[in-house]
A and B are shown apart, each in its own frame.
Chain A
Amino acid sequence: MRRFVAEKAKRAVSSYLLSSLRSHPSPSLSSSPLKFYSTAAAMASKLNPPVTVDSLNPKVLKCEYAVRGEIVTHAQRLQEELQTQPGSHPFDEILYCNIGNPQSLAQQPITFFREVLALTDHPALLDKSESAALFSSDSIERAWQILDVIPGRATGAYSHSQGVKGLRDAIAAGIAARDGFPSNPDDIFLTDGASPAVHMMMQLLIRTENDGIFCPIPQYPLYSASIALHGGTLVPYYLNEGTGWGLEISELTKQLEEARSKGITVRALVVINPGNPTGQVLAEENQQQIVEFCKKEGLVLLADEVYQENIYVDNKSFNSFKKIARSMGYGEDDLAVVSFQSVSKGYYGECGKRGGYMEITGFSADVREQIYKVASVNLCSNISGQILASLVMNPPKVGDESYESYMAEKDGILQSLARRAKALEDAFNSMEGVTCNKAEGAMYLFPRIHLPQKAIDAAKAVNKAPDAFYAQRLLEATGIVVVPGSGFGQVPGTWHFRCTILPQEDKIPGIISRFKAFHESFMSEFRD
């Protein structure tokens, strides 16, 4: 109370001083005599500024996102030191294995996609005969097709808030071809990457902290961050590391009961398939059980399917949850499914474009209206990203001029990813105290490190989680950046880290040897 009165008094004094200044107007305050003013200034500077960390939205303060967290900031510092003081570290370069950002590690974009995007970004090229010499004929044709569905061919105009209708038609057709079940273009919302679509759904679903969202543990921390930002409660379900990160309905049931007993209304179930960070591809049977569970318990199924094109094993394939539901005979009236897809992953890896969509099914018209309304506040997603999403869902087909080169690029990337996944998996499994499940899909390995007690104690002594301690030591010894498992969630008392499979293939042997050398020396230091 005293502080409040004191602040009011300070302001009143300042106000008085300023108004007396006003009665002696001068062209600029800085040139007027400020004897009185400096007193006010001294007082005013003690006022609490309107925006400080203490007065920020507590949900903002609470949320975390380890993928670009502390270890990355540290790595960036070291990178600067490498430039300003060469030789200051036992490595020449920082290797960012923390983030699924393929093109930052020299993965090449798909030529056909980029040809079409260049043409739609600068349609004047299509009027020039010289373009035929620089662009494939099917990319020119596709660019025309795309421009024809954009009103006025204006790629710089805001589109419909769900995205250009003609592009949604193409995406719906691509979904139908993939799944064998129809898709409605009006169910599709094109967004700046999949992440904004996830945020939109959280915003709709979460009313108070008594609304819970089921998330896999380990999970991609967009989910935990988004739930925290929107003031909800994350309800965990643990994936079973011992069975290749299997998802068990018994675990879901148990966690659901527990959440409900605490008064939490569980609104939705997030499934990431293929998994991030865990890399498992769900078996069809498993998916059916999940669909049944959601239907029975009245949960919206939020299916993060951004890694649908990253599958490295022959005995598994991608099935969208919508396809599974429809093939079980479940329609719009039976359950609500939202599928998220992105242009950032797959073999195209176009992270910087921010392209993606969500396909929403099973919602009533008035709910859909609200979803549209929220989308409209931001007007629309970037058009170039929308175009790319339509290309990803409708790539070149047999007979197209670009088909063979496209397939060569695609297969080259996917086969290389599979090889790198295997090489790193084997390497991790060969390390003392490290076990690593296979990466059946996605872009990551999530090995478990059985840390000796001495290491755990050393970590505690410096106030760090043991896996963060390990990751920091790794960084300082080798320049390799991984994300500690605590950033994703894990069974308490277990430690992991997430490492991408994205460094170029020729760098992998070097990474493996440096990692092994570090690990041996770490274990020598801390072995019980």
Chain B
Amino acid sequence: MAKPLDYESLNENVKKTAYAVRGELYLRASELQKEGKKIIFTNVGNPHALGQKPLTFPRQVVALCQAPFLLDDPNVGLLFPADAIARAKHYLQLTSGGLGAYSDSRGIPGVRKEVAEFIERRDGYPTDPELIFLTDGASKGVMQMLNAIIRNENDGILVPVPQYPLYSAAITLYGGSLVPYYLEEEANWSLDFNNIRQSIASARSKGITVRAMVIINPGNPTGQCLSEANIRELLRFCFLENLVLLADEVYQQNIYQDERPFISARKILFDMGPPLSKEVQLVSFHTVSKGYWGECGQRGGYFEMTNLSPKTVDEIYKVASISLSPNVPGQIFMGLMVNPPKPGDISYFKFEQESKAIMESLRKRAHIMTDGFNSCRNVVCNFTEGAMYSFPQIRLPARAIEVAKSAGKAPDVFYCLKLLEATGISTVPGSGFGQKEGVFHLRTTILPAEEDMPAIMESFKKFNDAFMEEYEDYRGYSRM
């Protein structure tokens, strides 16, 4: 008898979904690692996995919240500074029974208030904690919003290409249509409004109702920081085309140049005043996984809704309540991130030191990596202005492309597998993120330890230049 759940009888949307970040390359790298090969995992923005240390203060606070009986112990001061102790008490008081109780399905009200205060400080405009929902990581929030918006395959979502493949995966899972808009690599991955207008027109001519537009700023995998002008034009565009803007701003702390600091879409929206500030619907996402915190494993995130009707907010609340509540430790990490130690606090100096060291090192590594790639044959790489990734363009020779195709592999997958086998560097091929036809990239992170970077770039250069030599036609025969 046929099994009750076999491949054929699976939900089609599940089968169509792809998520390359933990796809073929990662699985192959894991296999090789099991066989004893040293692998450098640069496939996912996972700082602590590459040696970045957690910030001390938040870990102290959460440890105390996990074990509140420590607070009663006379020796607690030997292990924990007074401000960590005070902060743990503060958060425990905000919960309805400590870390082990389900909170409000939108998150602990006191923490949401801290998030609202952070947003107000950052942007200069007040916001309502009732419109801020904490989630188990930003990804869950993105999925909740897309699930709420997408009714059927005629609902389209504008997504940048290249994009972080959570968006394509979620759109496929929920049965919607991805409407791509191409970022301009030659113009530093900036928005090309002509292209966006063409995409939307093309989708509409196929009967697709374009509902929302995703923007990732700073960009993933592309690393660009959008200019204020770009964001303004984007908001006007959403207003005119009647789109809700989904602003993925999870890398807002990761900025490695000074020309274009991070400005939130919400701030610019409010700067633009009515009617846009009252009409444009916006959902902004943030997380504790990135920045200089890098606390991926905690699964802490939030989304903030602007100009969504109370009834819509209620429906989203209803869906959130089915999962009861986001994890409480992750919520406390979020509270700590938006409300870190201040000058004068006992832990401030150490916290600042730790944070600065990470940020300065990330900035350095962004440069080391970009320069390293640019020194390689047939490789061109835009500077990583923000986020955690480098997305070099690999100009594959025609013969390499042929060999890849006859091996049944996309050319960049072929290249990345060879890179992995030769050097142990595990990347994600550009096809996992989307790219222009015939243009190939790979995504790597800038996260390997600073002291390991030069050797990694050297290893890459050695492999790449040898690969190019092997596959470039005019050298062909004599080498054989």
Q: Which residues of A contact B140 (CB under 8 A)?
A: 378
Q: Which residues of B contact A55 (CB under 8 A)?
A: 149, 151, 211
Q: Mark A369-386, 1 if CB is under 8 A from B, else 0.
A: 010011011111111110
* A48 contacts the other chain (CB 8 A): yes
A373-B19, A379-B44 known; A354-B11 Cβ under 8 A: no
A119-B63, A336-B3 known; A351-B22 Cβ under 8 A: no
Taking a contact as CB atoms under 8 Å apart, the answer to whether A29 and B273 are in contact is yes
Taking a contact as CB atoms under 8 Å apart, the answer to whether A336 and B321 are in contact is no
Taking a contact as CB atoms under 8 Å apart, the answer to whether B44 and A351 are in contact is no
Q: Which residues of A contact B99 (CB under 8 A)?
A: 109, 350, 352-353
Taking a contact as CB atoms under 8 Å apart, the answer to whether A56 and B11 are in contact is no
How far, in whole Å, are A117 and B297 apart by their CA atoms in the complex?
14
Taking a contact as CB atoms under 8 Å apart, the answer to whether A225 and B11 are in contact is no
Taking a contact as CB atoms under 8 Å apart, the answer to whether A382 and B298 are in contact is yes
* CB nearest neighbor in A for B68: A114
* A18 contacts the other chain (CB 8 A): yes
Taking a contact as CB atoms under 8 Å apart, the answer to whether B150 and A57 are in contact is yes
Taking a contact as CB atoms under 8 Å apart, the answer to whether A225 and B101 are in contact is no
* A285 contacts the other chain (CB 8 A): no
A418 to chain B minimum Cβ distance, whole angstroms, is 21
A51-B312, A56-B148, A122-B59 known; A154-B67 Cβ under 8 A: no
Query: Of A85-93, A126-134, A427-435, A456-464, which stretch is located at the interface?
Result: A126-134
Q: Mark B237-278, 1 if CB is under 8 A from A, else 0.
A: 001111110000000000000000000000000011111101
**Residues of A60-117 whose CB lies within 8 A of B:** 60-61, 63-65, 67-69, 99, 101-106, 109, 111, 114-115, 117
Which one of B21, B22, B67, B327 lies within 8 Å of A354 (CB-CB)?
A: B327
Q: Mark B80-117, 1 if CB is under 8 A from A, else 0.
A: 00000000000000011111111101000000000000
Q: Which residues of A contact B4 (CB under 8 A)?
A: 267-268, 294, 298-300, 335-336
Query: Of A359-367, A475-483, A520-528, which stretch is located at the interface?
Result: A359-367
* B470 contacts the other chain (CB 8 A): no
Which one of A40, A154, A351, A366 lies within 8 Å of B297 (CB-CB)?
A: A154
Query: Of B69-77, B182-190, B339-347, B377-385, which stretch is located at the interface?
Result: B69-77
* B408 contacts the other chain (CB 8 A): no
* B357 contacts the other chain (CB 8 A): no
Q: Mark A46-59, 1 if CB is under 8 A from B, else 0.
A: 01111111011110
Query: Of B49-57, B124-132, B218-226, B358-366, which stretch is located at the interface?
Result: B49-57
Which one of A49, A51, A101 lies within 8 Å of B97 (CB-CB)?
A: A101
Q: What is the number of residues of chain A that contact chain B, defined by CB distance less than 8 Å?
A: 111
Q: Which residues of A contact B326 (CB under 8 A)?
A: 354
A44-B239, A352-B98 known; A122-B75 Cβ under 8 A: no
* B338 contacts the other chain (CB 8 A): no
* A402 contacts the other chain (CB 8 A): no
Which one of A106, A151, A370 lies within 8 Å of B7 (CB-CB)?
A: A370
* B121 contacts the other chain (CB 8 A): no
* B286 contacts the other chain (CB 8 A): no
* B199 contacts the other chain (CB 8 A): no
A29-B272, A204-B10, A384-B327 known; A161-B22 Cβ under 8 A: yes
**Residues of A195-219 whose CB lies within 8 A of B:** 195-196, 203-207
How far, in whole Å, are A475 and B173 apart by their CA atoms in the complex?
41
A28-B271, A29-B273 known; A383-B147 Cβ under 8 A: no
Which one of B2, B276, B289, B296 lies within 8 Å of A298 (CB-CB)?
A: B2
Q: Which residues of B contact A122 (CB under 8 A)?
A: 59-60, 62-63
* CB nearest neighbor in B for A161: B22
* A158 contacts the other chain (CB 8 A): yes
Taking a contact as CB atoms under 8 Å apart, the answer to whether A30 and B329 are in contact is no
* B405 contacts the other chain (CB 8 A): no
* CB nearest neighbor in A for B18: A373
Which one of B10, B66, B273, B274 lies within 8 Å of A121 (CB-CB)?
A: B66
* A192 contacts the other chain (CB 8 A): yes
Taking a contact as CB atoms under 8 Å apart, the answer to whether B244 and A60 are in contact is no
How far, in whole Å, are A159 and B299 apart by their CA atoms in the complex?
11
* B15 contacts the other chain (CB 8 A): yes
A488 to chain B minimum Cβ distance, whole angstroms, is 14
Taking a contact as CB atoms under 8 Å apart, the answer to whether A63 and B5 are in contact is no
* B17 contacts the other chain (CB 8 A): yes
Taking a contact as CB atoms under 8 Å apart, the answer to whether B299 and A192 are in contact is yes
* B178 contacts the other chain (CB 8 A): no
Q: Which residues of B contact A363 (CB under 8 A)?
A: 3, 5
* B413 contacts the other chain (CB 8 A): no
Taking a contact as CB atoms under 8 Å apart, the answer to whether A57 and B5 are in contact is no
* B231 contacts the other chain (CB 8 A): no
How far, in whole Å, are A118 and B65 apart by their CA atoms in the complex?
8
* A275 contacts the other chain (CB 8 A): no
How far, in whole Å, are A316 and B268 apart by their CA atoms in the complex?
63
Which one of B147, B170, B297, B308 lies within 8 Å of A57 (CB-CB)?
A: B147
Q: Which residues of B contact A493 (CB under 8 A)?
A: none
* A226 contacts the other chain (CB 8 A): yes
* A45 contacts the other chain (CB 8 A): yes
Q: Which residues of A contact B329 (CB under 8 A)?
A: 121, 352-353, 382, 384
* A152 contacts the other chain (CB 8 A): yes
How far, in whole Å, are A281 and B43 apart by their CA atoms in the complex?
46
* A11 contacts the other chain (CB 8 A): yes
Q: Which residues of A contact B308 (CB under 8 A)?
A: 51
Taking a contact as CB atoms under 8 Å apart, the answer to whether A50 and B212 are in contact is yes
How far, in whole Å, are A222 and B321 apart by their CA atoms in the complex?
10
B272 to chain A minimum Cβ distance, whole angstroms, is 5
17 pairs from A and B in contact (CB 8 Å cutoff) = A49-B244, A50-B243, A50-B281, A51-B148, A67-B321, A103-B97, A114-B67, A114-B69, A121-B63, A152-B49, A154-B48, A155-B297, A268-B4, A336-B3, A351-B100, A354-B136, A376-B21
Question: What 10 A-B pairs have minimum CB-CB distances, sorted nearest first?
Answer: A30-B273, A41-B275, A352-B328, A122-B63, A383-B297, A104-B101, A157-B49, A354-B327, A118-B67, A104-B97
User: Told that A29-B276, A349-B100 touch, could you supply 18 new A-B pairs with CB distance under 8 A?
Assistant: A45-B278, A49-B281, A51-B308, A53-B309, A56-B148, A56-B149, A56-B312, A103-B100, A124-B59, A204-B11, A222-B322, A267-B4, A351-B325, A353-B100, A363-B5, A367-B7, A380-B297, A383-B297
